[in-house]
Amino acid sequence: MAVPDDAASDRSDFVREQIQQDLAEGRVDRVQTRYPPEPNGHLHIGHAKAINTDFEIARDFGGTCMLRFDDTNPDTEDVSFVEGIIADIEWLGYEPTETLFASDYFDQLYEWAELLIRDGKAYVDEQDTETIRMQRGGYGNPGIESPYRDRSADENLDLFRRMRAGEFDDGAMVLRAKIDMQHENMQLRDPIMYRIRRGHHHRTGDRWVIYPTYDWAHGQSDAIEGTTHSLCSLEFDSHRPLYDWYLEQLPLPHERPHQYEFARLELTHTMTSKRKLAQLVASGVVEGWDDPRMPTLKGLRRRGYPASAIREFCSFIGIAKTNSRHQIELLESFVRTELNATAQRRMAVLRPLRLTITNWPTDDDGNPVVEHFEVANNPENEADGTRQVAFSGELFIEQDDFMADPPPKYFRLTPGREVRLRGAYLVTCTGYETDDEGEVTRVLATYDPDTRGGSAPDGRKVKSTMHWVSAAHAVPATVALYERLFTAEVPGEATGDPMDDLDHDSREVLTECRVEAALADTPAGEVVQFERIGYFAHDDRTPMLFHRTVGLRDEWANIQKRQG
């Protein structure tokens, strides 16, 4: 099993402690986990935590981790999901020891079902769904035993074989485990093991018309594969006694696996309901499962979230049994930390405002002089080297970087003030032009020729350094800015429907951006830092389209917020 070793391996949690104890006391002599998705949808950030947990725990104990598809419901599953899940796990950076399918165990599961029938521990029930549900009791009502509960083993066997042979219609009968209709745990009130379904299965085709339920397939699959520690989410805790009961009835090829439950990952401003996510896609609120606003792994990837940042985040938050919701800001801080170290710096002007250097020289032919400056690709990493950026007398700066009448603590360009154009010169604002509506259309400034490279020989300081592009050398680009898809921290908390908290303006597309020429060479999918703005992912199919991964930390924004 190959997994990256960037995650902390010295952390402790209730699962790791359990495993240590199992090892120490000789209950197991190896560790095997599995990640068991149903191939009926796309993986999202919540799944990343489960994947991280299963793979990292196995790695910490020198064990193995399988990828097993729990494909026991032909109605909802599809190969495209199998392929998507495999690709997403690989992207996340994990390599399963083996990729397996519960459907490969259908024969074994069937044999074991017959064994239970012969032992008098399972029976065929011919009642309909509604009746069975009513008889299960609950909400203060006692369970009622099915009239078919005490059939002979021979009769059950005959019926079950004919179920498999396709003699009965869908829903006509089911195989049930014979446990205890008065059990206080509802899961043990004669649970369904098999139902008749004529859907086409993505792997077994039409070979089967009966399909095992989750409970009858899951633990047995774990056991067949040799799973030692079966980790799942909290809502399965009441299934654990059933998990154990089934395994106790069967001759297993390995030691018995045990199930442990931990809390799912939830994030603020994020909704991970598969059905509702599908609704977002279907209604066109987002552009697809890989829309950069989606919490899917495909979406996060397109947005520019590094897989390593997602892994680090998952490892950091650890596993616990408390239902909780992590702040999306924490994930974002992991993304920034990773990108700060790795992303190449570039200059990009998102909302251009013309800046004219009025004392800029012309050459012998009367054309403005063009100079080239060498700037660092990443000040955090000298090995990333430098690049050349063209500079001349006509530039674009960010509209936000000039104010004719600035509020307190505004450090940027304003009439009379000197600032630095990053890597180039110190310039002083001498005036500005406006249109009929008073909008600033052009800023005028003079440069100090003695400050070439950006520092003054007399050592004077400026309060602000600003990014810029040369009007004649910059190239156009489209930049998509994203807000949170859901405005509420807990989508749906107020009304019960997450869709009520949807921000229908969560994407702003800027088409007039001017960016430095080097950005045209950015590989598809790569994330760069637009200096002073944020991290942006070059789209993987549309050249010169950039998605904002996450903004830089912005103290000025905080100041403005406080100023109201």
- Footprint (CB under 7 A) of RNA, residues 299-358: 316-327, 329-330, 333, 336-337, 340, 345
What whole-number distance in Å separates Cα of residue 236 and Cα of residue 176? 19
Tell the smallest beta-carbon distance from residue 547 to RNA (Å): 18
End-to-end CA distance of the chain: 54
**Residue 178 annotated to the active site:** no
**Residue 409 annotated to the active site:** no
Q: Which of 42, 49, 202, 239 binds RNA (CB under 7 A)?
A: 239
Decide whether 2 or 559 has the Cβ nearer to RNA.
559
Decide whether 76 or 434 has the Cβ nearer to RNA.
76
Decide whether 189 or 293 has the Cβ nearer to RNA.
189
Segment near RNA (CB under 7 A); pick from 179-187, 304-312, 387-395, 474-482: 179-187
* CA proximity to 361, closest of 423, 281, 425: 425
Question: Does residue 449 touch RNA according to CB under 7 A?
Answer: no
Q: Which residue has the tokens 């008073």?
A: 438
Decide whether 187 or 249 has the Cβ nearer to RNA.
187
| Interaction residues for RNA, span 382-441 (CB under 7 A) | 409-412, 420, 422-423
Segment near RNA (CB under 7 A); pick from 153-161, 297-305, 538-546, 549-557: 549-557
Tell the smallest beta-carbon distance from residue 366 to RNA (Å): 28
Tell the smallest beta-carbon distance from residue 128 to RNA (Å): 5
Quickly list DSSP for 389-443: EEE-SEEEEEGGGB-SSPPTT--SB-TT-EEEETTS-EEEEEEEEE-TTS-EEEE
Residue 462 contacts residue 451 (beta carbons within 8 Å)? no
Tell the smallest beta-carbon distance from residue 284 to RNA (Å): 26
307: tokens are 């897989």
Decide whether 293 or 412 has the Cβ nearer to RNA.
412
**What are residue 125's DSSP bridge partners?**
174
Tell the smallest beta-carbon distance from residue 23 to RNA (Å): 15
DSSP state of 167: -
Tell the smallest beta-carbon distance from residue 187 to RNA (Å): 5
| Marked catalytic residue, from 203, 274, 351, 484 | 274
Tell the smallest beta-carbon distance from residue 275 to RNA (Å): 10
| Interaction residues for RNA, span 26-85 (CB under 7 A) | 36, 38, 70, 72-73, 76
- Tell me the number of residues near RNA by CB under 7 A: 90
Decide whether 249 or 464 has the Cβ nearer to RNA.
464
Q: Which of 208, 236, 243, 260 binds RNA (CB under 7 A)?
A: 236
What whole-number distance in Å separates Cα of residue 193 and Cα of residue 214? 8
Decide whether 239 or 538 has the Cβ nearer to RNA.
239
| Marked catalytic residue, from 256, 264, 325, 452 | 264
Decide whether 362 or 563 has the Cβ nearer to RNA.
563
Q: Which of 238, 441, 487, 563 binds RNA (CB under 7 A)?
A: 238
Residue type, 66: M
What whole-number distance in Å separates Cα of residue 482 and Cα of residue 189? 49
Q: What residues have CB less than 8 Å from 242, skipping those under 6 apart?
A: 185, 187, 188, 191, 215
Question: What is the phi/psi pair of residue 532, to 5°?
Answer: 70, 0
| Interaction residues for RNA, span 509-548 (CB under 7 A) | 529, 531-532
Residue 210 contacts residue 222 (beta carbons within 8 Å)? no
Q: What number of other Cβ atoms are within 10 A of residue 488's Cβ?
A: 18
Q: What residues have CB less than 8 Å from 205, skipping those under 6 apart?
A: none
Q: Which of 231, 466, 474, 502 binds RNA (CB under 7 A)?
A: 466
Q: What is the per-residue binding string for RNA in 184-223, x denoting contact by CB under 7 A?
A: xxxx---xx--xxx-------------x-xxx-xx-----
3-state secondary structure 351-394: CEEEEEECCCCECCCCCECCEEEEEECCCCCHHHCEEEEEECCE
Decide whether 215 or 516 has the Cβ nearer to RNA.
215
Tell the smallest beta-carbon distance from residue 387 to RNA (Å): 14
**Residue 562 annotated to the active site:** no
3-state helix, strand, coil in the chain (%, to 5): 30, 25, 45
Tell the smallest beta-carbon distance from residue 408 to RNA (Å): 9
3-state secondary structure 131-150: HHHHHHCECCECCCCCCCCC
* CA proximity to 443, closest of 475, 490, 406: 406
- Give the alpha-carbon dihedral of 68, 69, 70, 76, to 10 degrees: 170
Q: Which of 505, 523, 562, 564 binds RNA (CB under 7 A)?
A: 562
Active site residues: 38, 264, 274
